[in-house]
């Protein structure tokens, strides 16, 4: 009975130690993939026209990416991962705002075209 309790206790401690070691080691691994994904998100936002339609959000994403790159160089991988994640969120917001603004402009252009066509139809109807 005592041996079984001791074995269970040791097994539990070993498992707990393994979990702690795994958690700590993940903070020491480079955040290269996270930074790369976020960098691509910032590039996509810029390509979508965020510089014109969402400059504040794009600038925030770019600043956070620069800080993430500095953290990577300093081997502060947790900070780099956090900043890259924040940059990705800012970039997605900028891209969404840019896409929304372009869609609104396109809808306004279509509405204007419809208005002009109606005027032409009314004019043509009045000439008969």
pLDDT in tens, 84-105: 999 999 999 999 999 999 999 9
User: Residue 28: how many CA atoms within 13 Å on its side-chain side?
Assistant: 6
Instruction: pLDDT band for 17, please (50, 70, 90 cuts).
Output: low
- Reported pTM: 0.70
Q: How many CA atoms lie within 13 A of 88 on its CB side?
A: 14
pLDDT tops 70 at residue 60: yes
Residue 16 backbone phi and psi in degrees, to 5: -65, -40
**Strands (E) located in the chain:** none
Question: Which residues neighbour 94 within 8 Å (Cβ) at sequence distance 6 or greater?
Answer: 45, 48, 50, 54, 57, 58, 61
**Residues 6 or more apart whose Cβ sits within 8 Å of residue 101:** 49, 53, 54
């Amino acid at each position: 009975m005592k041996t079984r309790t001791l074995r269970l206790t040791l097994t539990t401690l070993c498992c707990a130690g393994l979990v702690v070691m795994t958690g700590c080691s993940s903070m020491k691994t480079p955040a290269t993939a996270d930074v790369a994904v976020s960098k691509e998100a910032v590039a996509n936002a810029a390509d979508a026209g965020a510089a014109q339609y969402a400059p504040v959000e794009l600038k925030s994403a770019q600043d956070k990416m620069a800080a993430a790159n500095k953290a990577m160089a300093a081997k502060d991988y947790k900070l780099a991962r956090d900043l890259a994640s924040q940059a990705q969120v800012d970039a997605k917001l900028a891209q969404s705002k840019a896409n929304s603004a372009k869609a609104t402009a396109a809808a306004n252009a279509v509405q204007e075209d419809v208005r002009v066509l109606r005027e032409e139809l009314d004019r043509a109807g009045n000439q008969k």
